[in-house]
Amino acid sequence: MVCPEKTIPKCTKVILCDIAGTTTSIEFIKDVLFKFASDNIQSFLELNWNKEEVQHALKLLSNKSTKLEEAVEMVKEKTNKNEMNEGLKVLQGLLYQKGYEKDIRAHVFPDVFPCFQIWSKKFKIAIYSTGSVESQKLLFANTIEGNLSEFIDSYFDLLVGSKTDSCSYSHIAKNLNVQPQNILFLTDSIAEVKAAEKAGCQSFLVVRSASQSKVTDSSLNIISSFDELKIE
């Protein structure tokens, strides 16, 4: 459904946001977080190999017994490919915690903080990302604009389902105790927009980069910044 004049639909109760390419630059995810994970996975596993949460993540990473050196290479390879593996996302979240403790600060686009401030007064704000819930919480608690956690009500990751599966958005709606049409989803992915709309959600495609600016599908609602959205 095309929304007139880039307005937040009147029926909206929840604004659901993607992270990479939507609230946060893809470059930060790849060049800072992914690089930190790859650079530090060996020392992290050496120190934490016997911890229950690490062993559980390793079992999710591979269904066979894995030696430390094999696990290190597997994490590096899967991180480089950005694979949607639950065990990988858990390990990345554990690593990112160490990074934020060493003063990594997450990028957010300039419009995110002020819009979250305004939106949170009228709507619930939720996050849906391929990163683990824990890594999402860490990111928004440690941004260049400060701690944005106070504005966010709920977080969802791949445990709720694939972001290109319409059923995932139905599950999120049920979890939030709203109807799908009460959710406005903001993402940089056309496939995710289509999946959300199939479930009955409202949506806007967020086009942050010049490489995305050639989108020509007239059925899509498109914004380049959150502050383009007007509240009725």
Could you read off the pLDDT of 129-175 as tens digits, one per residue?
Answer: 999 999 999 999 999 999 999 999 999 999 999 999 999 999 999 99
CATH number of residue 214's parent domain: 3.40.50.1000
The count of domains in the chain is 2
Fill in the amino acid letter for 58.
Answer: L
- Spell out where the chain has E strands: 7-8, 14-17, 124-128, 154-156, 183-187, 202-206, 222-223, 230-231
51 pLDDT above the threshold of 60: yes
CATH number of residue 36's parent domain: 1.10.720
- 222 is in which domain, residue-wise? 4-24+107-231
Q: Pick from 60, 82, 101: which residue ends a domain?
A: 101
Give the pLDDT score at 91: 95
Q: Pick from 101, 118, 149: which residue ends a domain?
A: 101
pTM of the model: 0.92
Distance of alpha carbon 5 from alpha carbon 2, whole angstroms: 9
What percent of the chain lies above the pLDDT cut of 90?
A: 87
Closest to 18 measured CA to CA, from 157, 114, 149, 148: 157
211 pLDDT band (50/70/90 cuts)?
low
Tokens 């910044």 locate to 225
Same domain, 20 and 128: yes
User: Are 132 and 157 in contact, with CB atoms under 8 Å apart?
Assistant: yes
Give the pLDDT score at 65: 73
Same domain, 214 and 124: yes
Distance of alpha carbon 148 from alpha carbon 142, whole angstroms: 8
77 pLDDT band (50/70/90 cuts)?
very high
User: pLDDT tens, 169-204?
Assistant: 999 999 999 999 999 999 999 999 999 999 999 999
Same domain, 133 and 204: yes
What percent of the chain lies above the pLDDT cut of 70?
A: 94
Mean pLDDT score, 83-109: 94
Q: Pick from 69, 101, 133: which residue ends a domain?
A: 101
